[in-house]
């Protein structure tokens, strides 16, 4: 009977994970599509080296984030019916967290690029730092803080 409940738990956790990925992936895909189009914009030829570096960081972090966020689906498809759900869940959880870290970095670099194009570098740095802090607090520190609190209770 314990095997049935373990299998049921794994099934539920896998469904939850895949549903979470369905929420995150469209936004990442839109960001990636936008970043792929940016170099073809007329004004891109005028960007500074720093702006080009921010663009490159955003593009590569988005690409890597997509790889990690799509990896659980690919792993699941390849290992479908191989009774490997526990490993799939552990790897997928790690892949998703890495993907979200990369997405936060990509979005921060994208914000810097846009702000630096529109305003001066100082404002771009401040706004980008605020964006990075917002990602860090809301996406990572709040859940991790809650985990620490749960373990101390």
Domain limits, the chain:
2-152
What span, in angstroms and rounded, lies between the C-alpha atoms of 144 and 34?
Answer: 31
Q: What H or E segment, with its residue span, contains residue 11?
A: helix 2-37
Choose the weakest-confidence range: 20-24, 34-38, 75-79, 82-86.
82-86
Given a cut of 70, whether residue 2 has pLDDT beyond it is no
Cα 43 to Cα 115: distance, rounded to the nearest angstrom: 14
Closest listed residue to residue 102, CA positions, set 40, 34, 31, 49:
31
Question: Residues 4-41: pLDDT tens digits?
Answer: 577 788 888 888 888 888 888 888 899 999 899 988 88
**Helix/strand/coil percent split, the chain, to 5:** 90, 0, 10
| Average pLDDT, integer, range 61-84 | 87
DSSP code of residue 84: -
In three-state secondary structure terms, 85 is helix
Residues 6+ apart with CB under 8 A from 58: 35, 106, 107, 109, 110, 113
């Amino acid at each position: 009977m314990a095997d049935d409940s373990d299998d049921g738990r794994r099934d539920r956790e896998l469904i939850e994970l895949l549903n979470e990925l369905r929420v995150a992936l469209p936004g990442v895909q839109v960001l990636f599509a936008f970043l792929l189009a940016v170099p073809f914009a007329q004004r891109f030829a005028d960007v500074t080296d720093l702006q080009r570096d921010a663009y490159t960081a955003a593009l590569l972090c988005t690409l890597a984030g997509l790889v990690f966020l799509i990896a659980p689906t690919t792993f699941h498809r390849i290992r479908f019916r191989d009774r490997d759900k526990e490993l799939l869940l552990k790897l997928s959880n790690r892949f998703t967290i890495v993907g979200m870290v990369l997405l936060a970095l990509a979005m921060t670099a994208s914000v810097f690029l846009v702000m630096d194009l529109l305003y001066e570098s100082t404002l771009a740095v401040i706004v980008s730092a605020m964006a990075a802090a917002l990602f860090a607090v809301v996406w990572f520190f709040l859940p991790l803080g809650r985990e620490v609190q749960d373990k101390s209770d």
